[in-house]
Amino acid sequence: MRYHAEVSGVIPGSIASELDICPGDVICSINGRRIADFLDYQFLTAAEELVMTVQKKDGRMIEYEIVNEDMEDLGIVFENMLFDKAKSCANRCVFCFIDQLPPGMRESLYFKDDDSRLSFLYGNYVTMTNMLPKDVNRLIEYRISPVNISVHTTNPSLRKKMLKNRHADRVMDYMQMLKDGGIDMNMQIVLCKGINDGAELTKSLKDLASLYPAAISVSVVPVGLTDYRDGLYPLEAFNKEDALQVVEQVTKLQETFLKTLGTRFVYLSDEFYLLAQLPMPEAADYEGFPQIENGVGMEASLEEEFLQALKENPPFAFCGKTVIATGVLAYPFITKLVDLAKERYDGLDAEVVAVQNRLFGAGVTVAGLLGGKDLIEGLSGICADRLMITASMLKADEPVFLDDLTIADVEQSLHTRIVVCGNDGSEFLNCLLGCKE
Protein backbone atom coordinates (compact mmCIF):
# COMPACT_ATOMS: atom_id res chain seq x y z
CA MET A 1 0.00 0.00 0.00
CA ARG A 2 1.25 3.49 -0.85
CA TYR A 3 1.09 6.18 1.81
CA HIS A 4 1.48 9.88 1.18
CA ALA A 5 1.96 11.35 4.67
CA GLU A 6 5.71 11.74 4.24
CA VAL A 7 7.58 13.68 6.90
CA SER A 8 9.52 16.61 5.45
CA GLY A 9 10.91 17.97 8.72
CA VAL A 10 10.98 17.51 12.48
CA ILE A 11 11.08 20.35 15.01
CA PRO A 12 14.12 20.03 17.31
CA GLY A 13 13.23 19.13 20.89
CA SER A 14 9.73 17.97 19.95
CA ILE A 15 8.10 14.63 20.73
CA ALA A 16 8.80 13.47 17.17
CA SER A 17 12.47 14.38 17.58
CA GLU A 18 12.70 12.38 20.81
CA LEU A 19 11.15 9.39 19.02
CA ASP A 20 13.78 9.70 16.28
CA ILE A 21 11.21 10.29 13.56
CA CYS A 22 13.10 11.66 10.54
CA PRO A 23 12.44 13.33 7.21
CA GLY A 24 11.52 10.66 4.69
CA ASP A 25 9.57 8.59 7.23
CA VAL A 26 5.89 8.08 6.44
CA ILE A 27 3.03 8.33 8.95
CA CYS A 28 0.84 5.36 8.00
CA SER A 29 -1.88 5.37 10.64
CA ILE A 30 -2.91 6.73 14.01
CA ASN A 31 -4.97 4.53 16.29
CA GLY A 32 -5.46 2.18 13.37
CA ARG A 33 -6.86 4.83 11.03
CA ARG A 34 -5.00 5.65 7.85
CA ILE A 35 -3.86 9.25 7.48
CA ALA A 36 -5.26 10.60 4.22
CA ASP A 37 -4.42 14.26 4.79
CA PHE A 38 -3.40 16.82 7.37
CA LEU A 39 -6.95 17.07 8.69
CA ASP A 40 -6.80 13.39 9.66
CA TYR A 41 -3.42 13.92 11.26
CA GLN A 42 -4.49 17.02 13.19
CA PHE A 43 -7.71 15.47 14.48
CA LEU A 44 -6.24 12.08 15.46
CA THR A 45 -3.16 13.50 17.20
CA ALA A 46 -5.30 15.75 19.42
CA ALA A 47 -5.32 13.11 22.16
CA GLU A 48 -3.46 12.39 25.40
CA GLU A 49 -2.67 8.85 24.25
CA LEU A 50 -2.28 7.50 20.74
CA VAL A 51 -0.59 4.76 18.75
CA MET A 52 1.18 5.96 15.60
CA THR A 53 2.43 3.56 12.95
CA VAL A 54 5.41 4.85 10.99
CA GLN A 55 7.18 3.39 7.98
CA LYS A 56 10.88 4.22 8.23
CA LYS A 57 12.96 5.10 5.19
CA ASP A 58 14.50 1.61 5.26
CA GLY A 59 11.05 0.00 5.03
CA ARG A 60 10.67 -1.02 8.69
CA MET A 61 7.23 -0.53 10.25
CA ILE A 62 7.36 0.81 13.83
CA GLU A 63 4.49 1.43 16.24
CA TYR A 64 4.97 4.30 18.68
CA GLU A 65 2.80 4.46 21.80
CA ILE A 66 2.68 8.15 22.63
CA VAL A 67 1.53 9.66 25.92
CA ASN A 68 0.96 13.37 25.45
CA GLU A 69 -0.84 14.65 28.55
CA ASP A 70 0.04 18.28 27.77
CA MET A 71 -1.40 17.95 24.24
CA GLU A 72 1.79 19.29 22.67
CA ASP A 73 2.23 19.49 18.94
CA LEU A 74 4.19 16.39 17.94
CA GLY A 75 6.60 18.50 15.90
CA ILE A 76 6.12 16.77 12.55
CA VAL A 77 6.26 18.96 9.45
CA PHE A 78 4.70 18.00 6.09
CA GLU A 79 5.59 19.61 2.79
CA ASN A 80 2.11 19.05 1.35
CA MET A 81 -0.70 19.13 3.88
CA LEU A 82 -3.09 17.33 1.52
CA PHE A 83 -0.66 14.40 1.12
CA ASP A 84 -2.13 13.93 -2.36
CA LYS A 85 -3.32 16.13 -5.19
CA ALA A 86 -6.01 18.71 -4.58
CA LYS A 87 -9.45 17.75 -5.86
CA SER A 88 -10.01 19.48 -9.17
CA CYS A 89 -13.20 21.35 -9.89
CA ALA A 90 -15.96 19.31 -11.52
CA ASN A 91 -17.89 22.43 -12.54
CA ARG A 92 -17.90 24.41 -15.76
CA CYS A 93 -19.11 27.67 -14.28
CA VAL A 94 -20.35 30.24 -16.76
CA PHE A 95 -18.32 32.90 -14.91
CA CYS A 96 -15.12 30.93 -14.30
CA PHE A 97 -12.13 33.27 -14.31
CA ILE A 98 -9.63 30.52 -15.05
CA ASP A 99 -11.42 29.78 -18.34
CA GLN A 100 -10.65 33.40 -19.27
CA LEU A 101 -6.91 33.33 -18.68
CA PRO A 102 -4.67 34.30 -21.59
CA PRO A 103 -2.52 31.54 -23.08
CA GLY A 104 1.11 31.07 -22.14
CA MET A 105 0.89 31.59 -18.39
CA ARG A 106 2.46 29.19 -15.88
CA GLU A 107 0.69 25.85 -15.75
CA SER A 108 -0.34 26.04 -12.09
CA LEU A 109 -2.60 29.02 -12.81
CA TYR A 110 -4.85 26.89 -15.02
CA PHE A 111 -5.60 24.32 -12.29
CA LYS A 112 -9.11 24.62 -10.86
CA ASP A 113 -9.28 23.38 -7.28
CA ASP A 114 -12.51 22.75 -5.42
CA ASP A 115 -11.25 20.91 -2.35
CA SER A 116 -13.02 21.30 0.99
CA ARG A 117 -9.74 20.61 2.80
CA LEU A 118 -8.27 23.75 1.24
CA SER A 119 -11.20 25.74 2.58
CA PHE A 120 -10.06 25.08 6.13
CA LEU A 121 -6.31 25.02 5.55
CA TYR A 122 -6.00 28.06 3.28
CA GLY A 123 -9.38 29.80 3.28
CA ASN A 124 -10.33 28.72 -0.26
CA TYR A 125 -13.99 28.81 -1.27
CA VAL A 126 -15.58 25.53 -2.41
CA THR A 127 -18.81 24.76 -4.26
CA MET A 128 -19.35 21.38 -2.52
CA THR A 129 -20.41 19.80 -5.82
CA ASN A 130 -17.75 17.08 -5.59
CA MET A 131 -18.73 16.20 -2.02
CA LEU A 132 -20.92 13.39 -0.71
CA PRO A 133 -22.78 13.39 2.62
CA LYS A 134 -19.91 11.40 4.15
CA ASP A 135 -17.53 14.23 3.23
CA VAL A 136 -19.79 16.77 4.92
CA ASN A 137 -20.01 14.54 7.99
CA ARG A 138 -16.21 14.38 8.09
CA LEU A 139 -16.06 18.18 8.31
CA ILE A 140 -18.52 17.98 11.19
CA GLU A 141 -16.64 15.18 12.96
CA TYR A 142 -13.34 17.06 12.69
CA ARG A 143 -14.94 20.39 13.71
CA ILE A 144 -13.70 22.08 10.54
CA SER A 145 -15.03 25.57 11.06
CA PRO A 146 -15.61 27.91 9.42
CA VAL A 147 -16.08 26.44 5.95
CA ASN A 148 -15.99 28.89 3.02
CA ILE A 149 -18.63 28.11 0.40
CA SER A 150 -19.19 29.46 -3.11
CA VAL A 151 -22.97 29.57 -3.30
CA HIS A 152 -23.78 31.99 -6.17
CA THR A 153 -27.49 31.12 -5.96
CA THR A 154 -29.76 29.01 -3.78
CA ASN A 155 -32.14 28.34 -6.67
CA PRO A 156 -31.42 24.63 -7.38
CA SER A 157 -32.13 24.70 -11.13
CA LEU A 158 -30.33 28.01 -11.64
CA ARG A 159 -27.30 26.77 -9.68
CA LYS A 160 -27.08 23.68 -11.89
CA LYS A 161 -27.22 25.98 -14.91
CA MET A 162 -24.60 28.41 -13.63
CA LEU A 163 -22.17 25.73 -12.46
CA LYS A 164 -23.06 23.27 -15.25
CA ASN A 165 -23.09 20.44 -12.74
CA ARG A 166 -26.04 18.16 -12.07
CA HIS A 167 -25.04 17.88 -8.40
CA ALA A 168 -25.06 21.65 -7.82
CA ASP A 169 -28.58 21.63 -6.38
CA ARG A 170 -27.51 20.04 -3.07
CA VAL A 171 -25.79 23.07 -1.55
CA MET A 172 -28.61 24.15 0.80
CA ASP A 173 -29.00 20.58 2.09
CA TYR A 174 -25.27 20.38 2.77
CA MET A 175 -25.21 23.76 4.47
CA GLN A 176 -28.14 22.71 6.65
CA MET A 177 -26.11 19.62 7.63
CA LEU A 178 -23.19 21.87 8.56
CA LYS A 179 -25.45 24.13 10.61
CA ASP A 180 -27.00 21.17 12.43
CA GLY A 181 -23.48 19.88 13.09
CA GLY A 182 -22.38 23.17 14.67
CA ILE A 183 -20.13 24.27 11.79
CA ASP A 184 -19.92 27.95 10.83
CA MET A 185 -19.89 29.12 7.23
CA ASN A 186 -18.80 32.13 5.20
CA MET A 187 -20.33 32.33 1.76
CA GLN A 188 -19.80 34.18 -1.48
CA ILE A 189 -21.91 35.04 -4.50
CA VAL A 190 -20.32 35.94 -7.82
CA LEU A 191 -22.98 38.18 -9.29
CA CYS A 192 -23.70 37.84 -13.01
CA LYS A 193 -25.81 40.48 -14.68
CA GLY A 194 -29.22 39.18 -15.76
CA ILE A 195 -28.63 35.73 -14.25
CA ASN A 196 -28.44 35.61 -10.46
CA ASP A 197 -29.02 39.28 -9.66
CA GLY A 198 -32.27 41.12 -8.95
CA ALA A 199 -35.00 38.95 -7.42
CA GLU A 200 -32.72 35.89 -7.52
CA LEU A 201 -30.14 37.69 -5.38
CA THR A 202 -32.79 38.69 -2.83
CA LYS A 203 -34.04 35.09 -2.63
CA SER A 204 -30.52 33.71 -2.22
CA LEU A 205 -29.62 36.13 0.55
CA LYS A 206 -32.84 35.47 2.46
CA ASP A 207 -32.31 31.70 2.10
CA LEU A 208 -28.77 32.00 3.43
CA ALA A 209 -29.93 34.23 6.28
CA SER A 210 -32.21 31.37 7.38
CA LEU A 211 -29.00 29.49 8.28
CA TYR A 212 -27.87 32.22 10.69
CA PRO A 213 -26.01 32.16 13.10
CA ALA A 214 -24.08 29.24 11.56
CA ALA A 215 -24.05 31.29 8.35
CA ILE A 216 -21.76 34.12 9.45
CA SER A 217 -21.50 36.33 6.38
CA VAL A 218 -22.05 36.55 2.63
CA SER A 219 -19.96 38.53 0.16
CA VAL A 220 -21.34 39.64 -3.19
CA VAL A 221 -18.71 40.33 -5.86
CA PRO A 222 -19.18 41.26 -9.53
CA VAL A 223 -18.16 38.75 -12.18
CA GLY A 224 -14.69 39.42 -13.58
CA LEU A 225 -14.50 39.49 -17.37
CA THR A 226 -11.29 39.39 -19.40
CA ASP A 227 -10.66 39.77 -23.14
CA TYR A 228 -10.33 35.99 -23.47
CA ARG A 229 -13.96 34.85 -23.59
CA ASP A 230 -14.22 33.44 -27.10
CA GLY A 231 -16.67 30.55 -27.09
CA LEU A 232 -17.71 31.11 -23.46
CA TYR A 233 -21.13 31.92 -22.05
CA PRO A 234 -22.13 35.49 -23.00
CA LEU A 235 -21.82 37.69 -19.92
CA GLU A 236 -22.08 41.44 -19.59
CA ALA A 237 -20.07 43.66 -17.26
CA PHE A 238 -21.82 45.79 -14.64
CA ASN A 239 -21.98 49.50 -15.44
CA LYS A 240 -22.57 52.47 -13.14
CA GLU A 241 -26.37 52.21 -13.28
CA ASP A 242 -26.27 48.46 -12.58
CA ALA A 243 -23.94 48.98 -9.64
CA LEU A 244 -26.21 51.69 -8.19
CA GLN A 245 -29.14 49.25 -8.29
CA VAL A 246 -27.14 46.49 -6.61
CA VAL A 247 -25.92 48.82 -3.85
CA GLU A 248 -29.47 50.07 -3.22
CA GLN A 249 -30.86 46.52 -3.16
CA VAL A 250 -28.22 45.14 -0.80
CA THR A 251 -28.32 48.20 1.48
CA LYS A 252 -32.05 47.63 2.05
CA LEU A 253 -31.43 43.97 2.81
CA GLN A 254 -28.64 44.92 5.22
CA GLU A 255 -31.08 47.17 7.09
CA THR A 256 -33.57 44.31 7.32
CA PHE A 257 -30.96 41.81 8.51
CA LEU A 258 -29.63 44.30 11.06
CA LYS A 259 -33.12 44.49 12.60
CA THR A 260 -33.92 40.77 12.46
CA LEU A 261 -30.49 39.17 12.96
CA GLY A 262 -28.49 41.91 14.67
CA THR A 263 -25.95 41.92 11.82
CA ARG A 264 -25.80 43.28 8.27
CA PHE A 265 -24.89 39.72 7.23
CA VAL A 266 -24.24 40.54 3.54
CA TYR A 267 -21.41 42.75 2.30
CA LEU A 268 -20.66 44.08 -1.17
CA SER A 269 -17.18 44.08 -2.63
CA ASP A 270 -15.52 47.45 -3.05
CA GLU A 271 -15.95 47.31 -6.82
CA PHE A 272 -19.69 47.94 -6.61
CA TYR A 273 -19.26 51.21 -4.70
CA LEU A 274 -16.43 52.30 -6.99
CA LEU A 275 -18.43 51.49 -10.12
CA ALA A 276 -21.43 53.33 -8.70
CA GLN A 277 -19.17 56.26 -7.73
CA LEU A 278 -20.54 56.12 -4.21
CA PRO A 279 -18.62 56.62 -0.97
CA MET A 280 -17.50 53.48 0.80
CA PRO A 281 -19.36 52.41 3.95
CA GLU A 282 -17.70 53.25 7.25
CA ALA A 283 -15.23 50.69 8.57
CA ALA A 284 -17.60 49.88 11.45
CA ASP A 285 -20.29 48.89 8.93
CA TYR A 286 -18.18 45.87 7.94
CA GLU A 287 -18.48 44.45 11.47
CA GLY A 288 -14.93 43.22 11.80
CA PHE A 289 -14.33 42.65 8.06
CA PRO A 290 -15.30 38.94 7.87
CA GLN A 291 -14.88 38.93 4.09
CA ILE A 292 -11.87 41.21 3.61
CA GLU A 293 -9.92 38.47 1.80
CA ASN A 294 -12.65 38.64 -0.85
CA GLY A 295 -11.97 42.33 -1.45
CA VAL A 296 -14.88 43.34 0.78
CA GLY A 297 -14.09 46.40 2.86
CA MET A 298 -10.47 46.55 1.73
CA GLU A 299 -10.54 50.29 1.12
CA ALA A 300 -12.38 51.11 4.35
CA SER A 301 -9.91 49.02 6.33
CA LEU A 302 -6.91 50.51 4.51
CA GLU A 303 -8.14 54.06 5.06
CA GLU A 304 -8.84 53.47 8.76
CA GLU A 305 -5.34 52.04 9.26
CA PHE A 306 -3.75 54.83 7.19
CA LEU A 307 -5.46 57.63 9.11
CA GLN A 308 -4.57 56.05 12.44
CA ALA A 309 -0.94 55.74 11.36
CA LEU A 310 -0.98 59.35 10.16
CA LYS A 311 -2.04 60.48 13.66
CA GLU A 312 1.06 58.80 15.07
CA ASN A 313 3.20 61.07 12.88
CA PRO A 314 5.86 58.56 11.71
CA PRO A 315 9.18 60.05 10.55
CA PHE A 316 9.71 61.17 6.95
CA ALA A 317 12.82 59.31 5.86
CA PHE A 318 12.85 59.34 2.03
CA CYS A 319 13.40 62.49 0.00
CA GLY A 320 13.44 61.10 -3.53
CA LYS A 321 10.65 60.73 -6.10
CA THR A 322 8.19 57.88 -5.49
CA VAL A 323 5.75 56.51 -8.05
CA ILE A 324 2.89 54.35 -6.75
CA ALA A 325 1.46 51.95 -9.35
CA THR A 326 -2.11 50.79 -8.93
CA GLY A 327 -5.05 49.59 -10.97
CA VAL A 328 -7.57 51.87 -12.64
CA LEU A 329 -10.28 51.06 -10.09
CA ALA A 330 -8.34 52.03 -6.97
CA TYR A 331 -6.57 55.05 -8.50
CA PRO A 332 -8.84 57.77 -6.99
CA PHE A 333 -8.70 56.17 -3.55
CA ILE A 334 -4.92 55.70 -3.48
CA THR A 335 -4.50 59.25 -4.77
CA LYS A 336 -6.66 60.52 -1.90
CA LEU A 337 -4.46 58.79 0.67
CA VAL A 338 -1.25 60.07 -0.92
CA ASP A 339 -2.64 63.61 -0.99
CA LEU A 340 -3.42 63.37 2.74
CA ALA A 341 0.19 62.39 3.37
CA LYS A 342 1.44 65.29 1.23
CA GLU A 343 -0.60 67.73 3.33
CA ARG A 344 1.14 66.46 6.46
CA TYR A 345 4.68 66.10 5.10
CA ASP A 346 6.23 68.98 3.19
CA GLY A 347 8.58 67.77 0.51
CA LEU A 348 6.91 64.39 -0.02
CA ASP A 349 7.36 63.82 -3.75
CA ALA A 350 4.92 61.07 -4.70
CA GLU A 351 2.76 60.38 -7.74
CA VAL A 352 0.07 57.74 -8.21
CA VAL A 353 -0.22 56.17 -11.66
CA ALA A 354 -3.20 54.12 -12.88
CA VAL A 355 -1.84 51.22 -14.94
CA GLN A 356 -4.03 49.72 -17.66
CA ASN A 357 -4.29 45.94 -17.67
CA ARG A 358 -3.09 44.54 -20.97
CA LEU A 359 -2.54 41.04 -19.61
CA PHE A 360 -6.25 40.33 -19.13
CA GLY A 361 -7.79 43.33 -20.86
CA ALA A 362 -9.03 46.80 -19.92
CA GLY A 363 -12.13 45.34 -18.25
CA VAL A 364 -9.94 44.02 -15.42
CA THR A 365 -9.16 47.04 -13.28
CA VAL A 366 -7.89 45.70 -9.93
CA ALA A 367 -4.23 46.16 -9.00
CA GLY A 368 -3.70 42.56 -7.95
CA LEU A 369 -4.16 41.28 -11.52
CA LEU A 370 -1.57 43.54 -13.14
CA GLY A 371 1.35 41.74 -14.75
CA GLY A 372 4.97 42.78 -14.82
CA LYS A 373 4.70 43.70 -18.48
CA ASP A 374 1.72 45.93 -17.66
CA LEU A 375 3.97 47.90 -15.31
CA ILE A 376 6.75 48.12 -17.87
CA GLU A 377 4.43 49.34 -20.62
CA GLY A 378 2.32 51.58 -18.38
CA LEU A 379 5.26 53.23 -16.66
CA SER A 380 7.68 53.46 -19.55
CA GLY A 381 9.60 56.70 -19.39
CA ILE A 382 8.89 57.44 -15.74
CA CYS A 383 11.57 59.19 -13.79
CA ALA A 384 11.49 57.97 -10.21
CA ASP A 385 13.87 56.88 -7.49
CA ARG A 386 11.57 54.04 -6.53
CA LEU A 387 8.33 52.35 -7.55
CA MET A 388 5.82 51.20 -4.95
CA ILE A 389 3.57 48.23 -5.75
CA THR A 390 1.14 46.13 -3.72
CA ALA A 391 2.18 42.63 -2.65
CA SER A 392 -1.07 41.30 -4.16
CA MET A 393 0.55 41.61 -7.61
CA LEU A 394 3.06 38.88 -6.70
CA LYS A 395 3.04 35.20 -5.87
CA ALA A 396 2.73 34.60 -2.14
CA ASP A 397 6.12 32.92 -1.88
CA GLU A 398 8.11 34.45 -4.75
CA PRO A 399 8.77 37.92 -6.21
CA VAL A 400 7.07 36.84 -9.45
CA PHE A 401 4.17 38.51 -11.29
CA LEU A 402 1.30 36.65 -12.96
CA ASP A 403 3.05 36.80 -16.32
CA ASP A 404 6.19 35.22 -14.79
CA LEU A 405 8.25 38.40 -14.90
CA THR A 406 10.22 38.96 -11.73
CA ILE A 407 10.70 42.12 -9.71
CA ALA A 408 14.28 42.21 -11.03
CA ASP A 409 12.96 42.07 -14.63
CA VAL A 410 10.72 45.08 -14.06
CA GLU A 411 13.39 47.01 -12.15
CA GLN A 412 15.84 46.47 -14.98
CA SER A 413 13.35 47.60 -17.63
CA LEU A 414 12.21 50.69 -15.74
CA HIS A 415 15.62 51.55 -14.29
CA THR A 416 14.20 52.04 -10.83
CA ARG A 417 13.95 50.24 -7.51
CA ILE A 418 10.72 48.47 -6.53
CA VAL A 419 9.31 48.58 -3.01
CA VAL A 420 6.64 45.99 -2.22
CA CYS A 421 3.95 47.03 0.26
CA GLY A 422 1.38 44.81 1.98
CA ASN A 423 -2.36 45.52 2.02
CA ASP A 424 -2.22 47.46 5.26
CA GLY A 425 -2.78 51.20 5.64
CA SER A 426 -0.08 51.67 8.27
CA GLU A 427 2.45 49.78 6.17
CA PHE A 428 1.46 51.80 3.11
CA LEU A 429 2.12 55.09 4.89
CA ASN A 430 5.42 53.91 6.32
CA CYS A 431 6.56 52.64 2.91
CA LEU A 432 5.50 55.94 1.36
CA LEU A 433 7.59 57.86 3.90
CA GLY A 434 10.51 55.48 3.54
CA CYS A 435 10.75 54.69 7.25
CA LYS A 436 10.06 50.96 6.79
CA GLU A 437 11.40 49.27 3.68
Specify the pLDDT at position 261.
Answer: 98
87 part of a folded domain = no
Residues 307 and 272 grouped into a single domain:
no
Of 43, 78, 113, the one marking the end of a domain is 78
> Please, which residues have CB within 8 angstroms of residue 237's CB and are 6 or more apart in sequence?
193, 222, 223, 225, 363
Chain centre to alpha carbon of residue 63: 40
Confirm if 338 and 432 have CB atoms less than 8 A apart: yes
Confirm if 150 and 188 have CB atoms less than 8 A apart: yes
Specify the pLDDT at position 1.
Answer: 41
Residues 163 and 209 grouped into a single domain:
yes
Q: How far apart are CA 26 and CA 22, in angstroms?
A: 9
Specify the pLDDT at position 118.
Answer: 53
181 part of a folded domain = yes
Confirm if 367 and 353 have CB atoms less than 8 A apart: no
SS3 letters across the chain: CCCCCEEEEECCCCHHHHCCCCCCCEEEEECCEECCCHHHHHHHCCCCEEEEEEECCCCCEEEEEEECCCCCCCCEEECCCCCCCCCECCCCCCCCCHHHCCCCCCHHHHCCECCHHHHHHHCCCECCCCCCHHHHHHHHHCCCCCEEEECCCCCHHHHHHHHCCCCHHHHHHHHHHHHHCCCCEEEEEEECCCCCCCHHHHHHHHHHHCCCCCEEEEEEEECCCCCCCCCCCCCCCCCHHHHHHHHHHHHHHHHHHHHHCCCCCEEECHHHHHHHCCCCCCHHHHCCCCCHHHCCCHHHHHHHHHHHHHHCCCCCCCCCEEEEEEECCCHHHHHHHHHHHHHHCCCCEEEEEEECCCCCCCCCCCHHHCCHHHHHHHCCCCCCCEEEEEHHHECCCCCEECCCCEHHHHHHHHCCEEEEECCCHHHHHHHHHCCCC
Going across the sheet that includes 49-55, the strands are 33-34, 26-30, 49-55, 61-67
Of the candidates 40, 41, 123, which has an alpha carbon nearest to the alpha carbon of residue 77?
Answer: 41
Residues 138 and 244 grouped into a single domain:
yes
42 part of a folded domain = yes
Residues 34 and 57 grouped into a single domain:
yes
Residues 58 and 206 grouped into a single domain:
no
- Specify the CATH number for the domain of residue 40: 2.30.42.10
Residues 23 and 170 grouped into a single domain:
no
- Specify the CATH number for the domain of residue 345: 3.40.50
85 part of a folded domain = no
Residues 135 and 279 grouped into a single domain:
yes
92 part of a folded domain = no
Residues 335 and 266 grouped into a single domain:
no
Each residue's pLDDT, cut to its tens digit, for the chain (437 residues) gives 444 688 889 999 999 999 999 999 998 889 988 887 777 888 888 889 999 999 998 889 999 999 988 888 899 888 776 666 555 577 889 998 888 988 877 776 665 555 555 545 556 788 999 888 998 998 898 888 889 999 999 999 999 999 999 999 999 999 999 999 999 999 999 999 999 999 999 999 999 999 999 999 999 999 999 999 999 999 999 999 999 999 999 999 999 999 999 999 999 999 999 999 999 999 999 999 999 988 899 999 999 999 999 999 999 988 899 999 999 999 999 999 999 999 999 989 999 999 999 999 999 999 999 999 999 999 998 889 999 999 999 987 789 999 999 999 999 999 999 999 988 999 999 999 987 66
Q: What is the pTM of this model?
A: 0.83
Residues 291 and 307 grouped into a single domain:
no
31 part of a folded domain = yes
86 part of a folded domain = no
Amino acid at 225: L
Q: What is the CB neighbour count within 10 angstroms for residue 404?
A: 15
Residues 248 and 282 grouped into a single domain:
yes
Give the range of the structural domain holding residue 210, as residue numbers without chain letter.
98-295
93 part of a folded domain = no
Of 267, 295, 323, the one marking the end of a domain is 295
Residues 241 and 105 grouped into a single domain:
yes
Of the candidates 212, 425, 138, 132, which has an alpha carbon nearest to the alpha carbon of residue 303?
Answer: 425
Count how many domains the chain has.
3
Residues 372 and 401 grouped into a single domain:
yes
- Specify the CATH number for the domain of residue 187: 3.80.30
Of 247, 265, 295, the one marking the end of a domain is 295
